[in-house]
Structure 1
């Protein structure tokens, strides 16, 4: 990427909008696109979109929205993302969609019976994936591979797949396989690990002072799933790696740790640019993430003025990032035999450990 040209645009010049895709996954305001959003997205061509509860009402409404986004972009394989983990992070929920469990019950089952835990996690991925596919959503921000430690902030908490790196990796791999079987692309997060953070990165920058040797426990699940199609960074500073920068804007973390040491070769997206862990203007944050080596920047607020400002300063997506994006969107299977009873079978398995405990 040409650093000078990016900075020139960021100082007030406006990038001429046109046919070049932008390295942005954007949120938007409501259950339908406004006329202004439609005009902006048609002209700017962001790489994809992310949905939140504010965009979701009923299945027919949601399917119409995702079909509209694909038609607007002209890409059948358009990345349409959602955070659908289960538990407290579930954008599609009752009364129109069932509640799903968080990560903790899978860890408990894995502790009692690893094979049963892995199968339940795979079924979890299938159950969620089938619902997303029916709604026209193509990417789930799951599995979460963070390994929480004592004293960490509860922002991860029961979302985690346990505290054993090997178990987290095994369960995360199973969830990822289940999503793939349902035709959904999964995103491993929050690379290289949010489990030690003593603060919520939505509110402030978590600073982790663990040694590099101790951080290997955090890196291990991501290394085990280094072939995943997409990953989302952690807005965390690791003083043993780069004491000056948040991971999402650190070339040392992105290039040396995520790409080289962990070996992740898929599409790398930073977490939400609007989170308070990052410093500077939105343009500064976008530049920092892309210059560090992230392929895509995520912006979630849905505010039209912020989306417009980001589209005005963003460079075109790099050819390498575009190739990684295409590979990620080609990664899911074409589901031929959907397991309609996946959720019931998952819940039966999870119920066995509840009965024992």
Structure 2
């Protein structure tokens, strides 16, 4: 890499349980910064460890990521992986003081949340995974509690309706992940829980004003600005603040998240293949243009998921090649300037310690204690 291209912003996917020649070529590209794994990339622990080792053999600095929150968003569920609870279970525990007196439920919940984070991260790291997109900071809006309707995409992925509870439980999960040597990502800034539409298939719109959003859904980001390793913005439009979805908005990412809330960690775009990312300023855009818009708005890294299987034969995954080629062309033409600061934020997400091998982890006292604390 030459000095003017030292920024690897693209997080892409791979096709199967082992790398293809096309996967290796794309992972070796200097603009590729990491890979996101899915359930299709999983067979068992031995296979996952071989896959992650093969990725690192291409480039040791690649960030291996996964959506692994617990509940219904957990990519690896068999061959010894602990079935983690949905985050709402921790919020429910917070509210249950039982016979132990006021506040005891909250204390048990924070301890359990730390245990969830430790188990989640230590099991992933034992299989060569560097980073998980967790925890969710969206609020658990319920019908009749002020939201137009319940969010279909968030639901029990959220801890609680109260942003104070969300912040403390999320901080506890993050603490557990950090104890296991893994960074973390709060999502989906400034909040996806209030809108019913799913940004995977629609373009959600939240018509509240900035003051209401900052006082409620976005409050955990202000309280955790010195805690969070990374943030992922929502593919939601908040028209009273900006006409663009948050992940493409300089106002949201630069003026509010960076300057007003003082967040200094990495910013990931959400998946650019989602419907909520395909329309900017009322126009349907391609993946390269969406990536450029996200990077220009303030994202350090951009995700394009589930595209390695698109197409047939030699054209399979061509969308990923088009994205990399488009970014390279934009750099050459001066329409995009790589950011050394963004690259430093990406590298800071890589684990700094060696993981416990799986068999050792199964006997590790901290891991065994954490398992006992799970709700």
Distance 1:325 1:299 in 2: 16
The correspondence of residues 224-239 of structure 1 with structure 2, limited to 5 A, is 224-227=223-226, 228-239=228-239
TM-score, scaled to structure 2: 0.83
Task: Render the CA deviation track for 1:124-166: whole Å, top value 9, x for unaligned.
Answer: 0011111101001010111110013231322100010111100
Distance 2:321 2:223 in 1: 38
Matched, 1:122 2:114: yes
RMSD of equivalent CA atoms: 2.1
- 4+ aligned runs moved over 3 Å, structure 1: 18-21, 330-338
2:182 equivalent in structure 1: 184
Deviation at 1:333, TM superposition (A): 9.3
Closer/same/farther in 2, CA of residues 286 and 62 from structure 1, 3 Å limit: same
Contact conserved, 1:51 with 1:81, CA < 8 A, in 2?
Answer: yes
Task: Render the CA deviation track for 1:25-68: whole Å, top value 9, x for unaligned.
Answer: 11111111111221232234511111000111111110111111
Distance 1:155 1:33 in 2: 31
Closer/same/farther in 2, CA of residues 119 and 270 from structure 1, 3 Å limit: same
1:51 to 37, 42, 49: 37
Deviation at 1:96, TM superposition (A): 4.5
The correspondence of residues 29-178 of structure 1 with structure 2, limited to 5 A, is 29-75=15-61, 78-112=62-96, 113-150=105-142, 151-178=149-176
Closer/same/farther in 2, CA of residues 48 and 338 from structure 1, 3 Å limit: farther
1:301 equivalent in structure 2: 306
Contact conserved, 2:5 with 2:338, CA < 8 A, in 1?
Answer: no
Deviation at 1:338, TM superposition (A): 5.8
Closer/same/farther in 2, CA of residues 134 and 96 from structure 1, 3 Å limit: same
1:81 aligns to what SS in structure 2?
strand
Distance 2:269 2:320 in 1: 16
Closer/same/farther in 2, CA of residues 209 and 105 from structure 1, 3 Å limit: same
Structure 2 unaligned runs (5+)? 97-104, 143-148, 280-284, 309-316, 332-336
Contact conserved, 2:131 with 2:349, CA < 8 A, in 1?
Answer: no
Distance 1:332 1:289 in 2: 31
Contact conserved, 2:164 with 2:220, CA < 8 A, in 1?
Answer: yes
Deviation at 1:111, TM superposition (A): 1.6
Deviation at 1:213, TM superposition (A): 2.2
Distance 2:251 2:94 in 1: 35
Distance 2:354 2:138 in 1: 26
Distance 1:197 1:37 in 2: 36
Distance 1:180 1:331 in 2: 11
2:76 aligns to what SS in structure 1?
coil
Deviation at 1:317, TM superposition (A): 3.9
Deviation at 1:343, TM superposition (A): 4.7
Contact conserved, 1:109 with 1:116, CA < 8 A, in 2?
Answer: yes
Contact conserved, 1:130 with 1:338, CA < 8 A, in 2?
Answer: no
Closer/same/farther in 2, CA of residues 257 and 332 from structure 1, 3 Å limit: farther
Distance 1:33 1:338 in 2: 35
1:312 equivalent in structure 2: 325
